[in-house]
Structure 1
Amino acid sequence: MTSNAKAPRVLIAGFEPFENDPVNPAWEIARALDGWTCEGAVVQAVQLPCVFGRAIDTLDAALPGPPLKLVLCVGAAGGRTEISMERAALNIDDARIPDNAGQQPIDLPVVKDGPAAYFATLPIKAMVRDMRAAGLPAAVSNSAGTFVCNHIFYALMHRIATRPALAHTRGGFVHVPYLPEQAASKPGVASMALADQVEAFRVAIRTALTVRHDVRETAGRLH
């Protein structure tokens, strides 16, 4: 983290490894960008445990401090071919597998009596546009799943929506592909080099800090 403790921040919260993988590209991206300065804001990386509830506690501990311009939570999505900007977070935990603490909630709300869903407040289409223009595969995604990734995405957006201190903070969730070393043991599964993923985030962060109103162009899907 930079020594400029008063600079506005971009918080990147990347998950630890899970499901017996020794590495998680989400955390590798976050820590590679820690301390990077963009448009006057400094990136701060924090590692999230892949554990329901505990991930939210870790995020909450990282929120206080200098003003937050952006918060990007990041998780791995094995099999995806692109950097995926998530559009919506659902108020549901429905775990296909246990988390790293052995918990497996089924059909429980992330926030009791909270709204059914939140949309990301990042300019996700502009971010995708600019990553693609830089030669980096990216897309808008309409499902962050129902595991700990969606759990933290919903919790983040609920905090942005309900806490006055975060009224000027934009937030969202990004799913990223496997790294080549992960795909090497999973024949046929897509991957993306860490250097390319880090560069994609540099482009996306710069766009999010400079674009106030998202572009209006198609990013929908039939299914």
Structure 2
Amino acid sequence: MKVLFTGFEPFGGESSNPSAEAVLQLCSQNAPAGVSWQARILPVEFKRSAELLNDAISQLQPDLVLCVGQAGGRTAICLEQVAINLLEARIADNSGWQPSGEAVVSGGPAAYFSNLPLKAIRAQLQQNGIPAQISYTAGTYVCNALMYQLLHSLAARPDQPCRGGFIHIPFSPEQAAAKPDTASMTIATVVAGLRQLVLCCQQYQTDIKASAGTLD
């Protein structure tokens, strides 16, 4: 199984991005049996991030694409269920573009759902002592846009089966140190979680039956 990981460059005034640190660190390690993996670091730009991701998919022909991004304020590894066809940027991206109310893909579906075994992944991470939850919003910034464009691209390639999804992670402890009362997660924990995630995707082609959802 060929796995493509992506992380992001820093944005929003931060000097680092734990998503980039985690995927680079993971892909420097020996992969599990039957797995090969590579990492790409993408710019926090609505347009160019998707272009570079599609280039990497065409080049590497992966079986699994796992995009990882930082979401300050999250308290766990968040397995994103849905990406929506909306660009709504509270701050400009790193190219200076700040869209508002535009579509990610003009004429595209309102939303796409992850095709990863999210409930199985959540269970496996939690069993290994790693905080994890299923999230039902990837926001409206570059992370959501990248997830949407990833799933849109995969849907257009039915003859080349590939699974893909998006994972949000908390701030690193170094980032949170300057932000009182802000949750964080060590890069080592994120790396361990991503490794378990790959093993779970290797094991499960379809998801397990388990309760999920939110009341708010």
TM-score by length of 2: 0.96
SS in structure 2 at match of 1:43: strand
Q: Quote the Cα distance in structure 1 between the aligned partners of 2:63 and 2:104.
A: 24
What do residues 169-210 of structure 1 show as CA deviations (whole Å, max 9, x unaligned)? 100000000100000000100001111110011111110111
Q: Is the 8 A contact 1:39 1:209 kept in 2?
A: no
2:138 equivalent in structure 1: 144
**Partner AA of 2:99 in structure 1:** P
**Partner AA of 1:20 in structure 2:** G
Shift of 1:67: 3.8
Q: What are the equivalent positions in structure 2 for 1:174-185 lying under 5 Å apart? A: 174-185=167-178
Q: What are the equivalent positions in structure 2 for 1:1-223 lying under 5 Å apart? A: 8-35=1-28, 36-164=30-158, 167-223=160-216
Q: Is the 8 A contact 1:39 1:206 kept in 2?
A: no
Q: Which runs of 5+ in 1 are unaligned?
A: 1-7
Percent identity reads 44
TM-score by length of 1: 0.93
SS in structure 2 at match of 1:64: helix
Q: Quote the Cα distance in structure 2 between the aligned partners of 1:126 and 1:16.
A: 29
SS in structure 2 at match of 1:68: coil
SS in structure 2 at match of 1:110: coil
Q: Quote the Cα distance in structure 1 between the aligned partners of 2:71 and 2:166.
A: 12
1:3 equivalent in structure 2: none
Q: Quote the Cα distance in structure 2 between the aligned partners of 1:209 and 1:74.
A: 18
Q: Which runs of 5+ in 2 are unaligned?
A: none
**Partner AA of 2:193 in structure 1:** A
Shift of 1:66: 4.5
Q: Quote the Cα distance in structure 2 between the aligned partners of 1:216 and 1:39.
A: 27
- Say what the alpha-carbon RMSD is for the aligned residues: 1.1
